[in-house]
């Protein structure tokens, strides 16, 4: 996605990447990126939770004026589980194993 | 600390090996961003989303794109990307292409307007040159024609 963002930005249109895979976002920096600490494939939240989708998108867009240089990644404070539990990471590992394993 | 995906992908890579991450050969930066409340925003997703009536994508070497109505009432979306993380997105594509959320932000006056069209293509391409030289310019031309002030890209 970084390649496309730079292509689009190079033609004069500002871009914002909103992603969940921080290590990839770090290795191939986009002009501007916001990291959401949700499981991959669920960038805006739980299925059917329209209020959450709107909240995450609004929060990501609100970061726009805070970028001061290319390649920065800004982190949103949102958590997948309200109590901060990270059991979802095992779900993601299992999904990826099922595909690649 | 954020989950690290690259080691998992490397551990379970198939015969073709893990995907090589390629940095842009022409990095760009437009220093100023538009005032959001007056901006036209276009959504893009690398989930290989399309309408059920549109030709399917052929991952992972397909570098075409599909134009999708930004109207969330158009609900016949399917995902052709083969990533296993799509279980929830197949139930609710809004979590990777937030058309309804963008429309809601427009109604609230936080964004000027949602472009009438969103775009999708196959992410995690193994053809970076084609992405830079063909897909990127084609999408940029579409965005310009729509009067896009801000492109929001959502990796899958």
End-to-end CA distance of chain B: 20
| Cα(A85)–Cα(A39) distance, integer angstroms | 12
How many CB atoms within 10 Å of residue B15?
4
Q: Over the stretch B128-141, which tens digit does the pLDDT of each residue have?
A: 899 999 999 999 99
Spatial contact of B65 and B138, defined as CB atoms under 8 Å apart: yes
**In terms of residue numbers, what domain contains A41?**
2-100
Buried b (16+ CB within 10 A) or exposed e, B20-44: eebebeebbebeebbebeebbbbbb
Q: Give chain A's domain count.
A: 1
pTM of the model: 0.96
| Cα(B83)–Cα(B5) distance, integer angstroms | 13
Which residues of chain A make contact with B110, given a CB cutoff of 8 A? 58, 61
Q: Over the stretch B5-29, which tens digit does the pLDDT of each residue have?
A: 999 988 877 777 777 899 999 999 9
A55 sits in the region (left: phi over 0; alpha: psi -120 to 50; else beta) called alpha
Q: Over the stretch A19-78, which tens digit does the pLDDT of each residue have?
A: 999 999 999 999 999 999 999 999 999 999 999 999 999 999 999 999 999 999 999 999
Whether B24 and A43 lie within 8 Å, measured CB to CB? no
**Would you list the domain boundaries of chain B?**
36-154
Whether A8 and B94 lie within 8 Å, measured CB to CB? no
């Amino acid at each position: 996605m970084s390649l496309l963002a730079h292509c689009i930005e190079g033609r004069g249109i500002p871009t914002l990447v909103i992603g969940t895979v921080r290590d990839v976002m770090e290795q191939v920096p986009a002009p501007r990126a916001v990291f959401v600490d949700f499981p991959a494939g669920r960038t805006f939240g739980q299925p059917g939770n329209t209020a959450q989708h709107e909240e995450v998108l609004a929060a990501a867009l609100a970061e726009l004026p805070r970028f001061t240089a290319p390649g920065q990644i800004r982190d949103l404070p949102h958590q997948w589980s309200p109590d901060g539990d990270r059991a979802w990471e095992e779900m993601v590992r299992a999904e990826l194993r099922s595909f690649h394993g | 600390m954020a989950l690290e995906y690259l080691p998992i992908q490397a551990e379970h890579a198939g015969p073709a090996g893990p995907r090589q991450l390629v940095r842009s050969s022409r990095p760009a930066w437009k220093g100023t961003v538009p005032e959001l409340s007056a901006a036209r925003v276009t959504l893009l997703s690398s989930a290989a989303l399309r309408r059920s009536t549109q030709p399917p994508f052929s991952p992972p070497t397909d570098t075409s794109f599909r134009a999708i109505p930004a109207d969330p009432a158009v609900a016949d979306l399917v995902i052709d990307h083969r990533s296993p993380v799509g279980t929830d997105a197949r139930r609710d594509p809004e979590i990777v292409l937030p058309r309804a959320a963008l429309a809601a932000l427009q109604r609230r006056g936080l964004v000027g307007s949602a472009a009438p069209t969103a775009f999708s293509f196959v992410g995690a391409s193994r053809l970076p040159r084609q992405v830079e030289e063909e897909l990127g310019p084609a999408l940029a031309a579409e965005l310009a024609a729509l009067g896009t002030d801000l492109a929001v890209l959502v990796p899958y």
